[in-house]
Amino acid sequence: MRKITRRSFLAAAAACGAAAALTACGGSSASTAASSTASSAAAADGQTYTIGICQLVQHAALDAATQGFQDVLTEEFGDNVTFDLQNAQGDSATCATITNGFVSAGVDLIMANATPALQAAQAATDTIPILGTSVTEYGVALGLDNYDGTVGGNVSGTSDLAPLGEQADMIVEWLPDVKNVGLLYCSAEANSQYQVDEVQKYLEAKGVTATQYAFSDSNDLSSVCQQAANENDALYVPTDNTVAANTGIVDGICRPAKKPVFTGEEGICSGCGVATLSISYYDLGRTTGEMAVKILKGEADISTMPIENTNVTKKYNEAICDDLGLTVPEGYEEIEG
């Protein structure tokens, strides 16, 4: 997974797909006219924009956030916006190479998808606007003292943090007699550490023993996950990018062992979990795109823009719940697909 950076050949296809989705979605002449008007206005003043997108790794959640971001910019600016989408293949050092390249190229704005991408972008420039997305806690990610919800400087964005106390409640709601929960996460992801620390506190306050199981990268995920499954009644996985890219490993261990996995987001849940309190990463990306539009049009100062969030939804994985014989509590929606 740690490969040299290459430009994603999907960038052009994603931008075209965004335009196609706009035409298809709703199919109304009003939406088409609105898009045409926005594109015409952008063309009239001759303003064009180049957006650099650094995505940490390819998986469903991050892909959806990138697509939502691109869709909003394309709807607003049409052909007057160009995306340079690059994937770091899960390597933080490659994020630095990508973002430094964006700075050299003089892009108008950088969208950093996931915490290592945000960290790399912040280190690369203090002048080009940077919007993060799929980042859990900006204070932790950027090492900020007295973080109050606004980063300041040239950085803002959106957070994918679901209420961690409610996630702990979710586990107990599904498994009222649970005694031991293993918290599985990648130690290289600061936001994952933050989430498991918080969930551990909430679970222990409920009388549940919660034990952390950290793996360093995908190479030792299998052995650590096996140990966690052997020693616990259930597992919890936060919004962890390494697990998200390797859900098959977790599912291949936990489902045969009849150990339910609760997750911090829908993409991981669809691959290996039974239930989640999840946001829509597509909607999160759209919110990030709306922030970008305001910045590019001079309607907002990024230094004063607070980090934004989106709503969470209770969801469950029907196939895994059926295999484990679990009864779904009221109020949960089935994950589609």
**pLDDT confidence bin for 9, thresholds 50/70/90:** very low
- Closest of 117, 106, 109, 116 to residue 154, by C-alpha: 109
Rounded distance between C-alpha atoms, residue 193 and residue 205, angstroms = 19
Q: What is the DSSP letter of 177?
A: T
Q: Do 10 and 85 meet the contact criterion of CB atoms below 8 Å apart?
A: yes
Same fold, 6-160+280-304 and 164-278+313-334: yes
pLDDT of residue 45: 62
Rounded distance between C-alpha atoms, residue 73 and residue 51, angstroms = 9
Q: Do 158 and 302 meet the contact criterion of CB atoms below 8 Å apart?
A: no
The tens digit of pLDDT for each residue in 294-313 reads: 999 999 999 999 999 888 89
Lowest mean pLDDT among 45-54, 89-98, 235-244, 324-333: 45-54
pLDDT mean over 226-249? 96
**pLDDT confidence bin for 199, thresholds 50/70/90:** very high
Task: Classify domain 164-278+313-334 at the CATH superfamily level.
Answer: Response regulator (3.40.50.2300)
The angle at the Cα of 64, spanning 60 to 69, to the nearest 5 degrees, equals: 155
Percentage of residues in the chain having pLDDT higher than 70: 86
**pLDDT confidence bin for 279, thresholds 50/70/90:** confident
Mean pLDDT, the chain, rounded, equals 88
Q: Give yes or no for residue 336 having a pLDDT over 80.
A: yes
Q: Do 240 and 189 meet the contact criterion of CB atoms below 8 Å apart?
A: yes
The tens digit of pLDDT for each residue in 238-268 reads: 999 999 999 999 999 999 999 999 999 999 9
Distances (CA, A) of 270 to 46, 89, 97, 151, 303: 44, 21, 32, 32, 37
Model-level pTM?
0.74
Name the maximum alpha-carbon separation found in the chain.
65
Percentage of residues in the chain having pLDDT higher than 90: 80
Sheet holding 81-87, edge to edge: 6-7, 81-87, 49-55, 109-113, 130-135, 155-159
Task: Classify domain 6-160+280-304 at the CATH superfamily level.
Answer: Response regulator (3.40.50.2300)
The tens digit of pLDDT for each residue in 139-154 reads: 999 999 989 999 999 9
Q: Do 168 and 206 meet the contact criterion of CB atoms below 8 Å apart?
A: yes
Domain boundaries defined on the chain: 6-160+280-304, 164-278+313-334
Q: Do 164 and 192 meet the contact criterion of CB atoms below 8 Å apart?
A: no
pLDDT of residue 310: 85
Quote the tokens at residue 27. Answer: 């199919």
From the CB of residue 63, how many other CB atoms can be counted at a distance below 10 Å? 20
Rounded distance between C-alpha atoms, residue 54 and residue 88, angstroms = 7
The angle at the Cα of 66, spanning 65 to 71, to the nearest 5 degrees, equals: 100
Q: Give yes or no for residue 1 having a pLDDT over 90.
A: no
